[in-house]
Amino acid sequence: MSYNILIIEDEENIARVLQLELEFEGYQVDIAYTGTSGLIKYREGSFDLILLDLMLPEMHGLDVLKRIRATEQATPVILLTAKSEVEDKVKGLDLGANDYVTKPFEIDELLARIRNFIRFAKSQSAVLPLADNDTHLLSYGQLSIHEQTREVLYFEESIDLTPREYDLLLYLLKHPKQVLTREQILEAVWGFDYFGDTNVVDVYIRYLRQKLGSVNSTAIIKTVRGVGYALKESTHET
């Protein structure tokens, strides 16, 4: 099966190199050189992954990302960034980007990330049940997630999560009371080919705790020292 990738990149040399490499790997590739044309191509086409530059003419990459995520959360988006764009990287991840690579990047690393995100996205869509919507509802204690709508409720209050925070919480919820190592979480949520540090798990656990804690101060995500994390109802643990 051939997968479709949209490249939104204003530097024609970079876009062309990416196109050649991706087509050599068997992907179908479309290119847009401005933010506006990229958004139009996204809306008119069907893509399995998007490579999105941040510094684009006509419309900034973050604005393109906002509009994509206002439509849907499923299509993986990898940001192409410059080393100096640290603040934009953070904003991009908060807005729902799945990952970023910094220019100049190693093409083999980028290809590995692309394979990983497409594989993960397809595996997620493949396991969705076809029965009544109630089969999508997962609950533990006062926490519930509806997989089809991606709605998260904690003590009956809606929690607004980024896509990565949602995936992390969903994974914890699917394994209640089970102690999960950082390596297990990385492989399940970020993917087997993730190249970053395991500290990213700690960062996103902190994000989740802050958002859940704004509704109820009871800590439902427990730290198991020296091992990892577990989703457990309130006990005397810390």
Mean pLDDT along residues 176-197: 81
Geometric angle at alpha carbon 154, from 190 and 235, rounded to 5°: 90
Q: Which domains does the chain have, with CATH numbers?
A: 4-126 (3.40.50.2300), 133-231 (1.10.10.10)
CB 100 within 8 A of CB 92: yes
pLDDT band at 65 (very low <50, low <70, confident <90, very high): very high
Find, among 21, 76, 25, 24, the residue nearest to 52 by Cα: 76
Which stretches of 96-176 are DSSP H helices?
107-126, 163-173
Q: What is the pTM of this model?
A: 0.56
pLDDT in tens, 66-116: 999 887 878 899 999 887 777 888 888 888 898 889 888 889 989 998 988
* Amino acid 135: pLDDT: 52
Compute the mean pLDDT over every residue in the chain, rounded to the nearest whole number.
86
> How many Cα atoms are found within 13 Å in the side-chain-facing hemisphere of 237?
15
pLDDT in tens, 7-33: 999 999 999 999 999 999 999 999 999
Residues contacting 192, CB < 8 A, separation 6+: 116
* Amino acid 226: pLDDT: 86
Q: Which residue has the higher pLDDT, 235 or 85?
A: 85
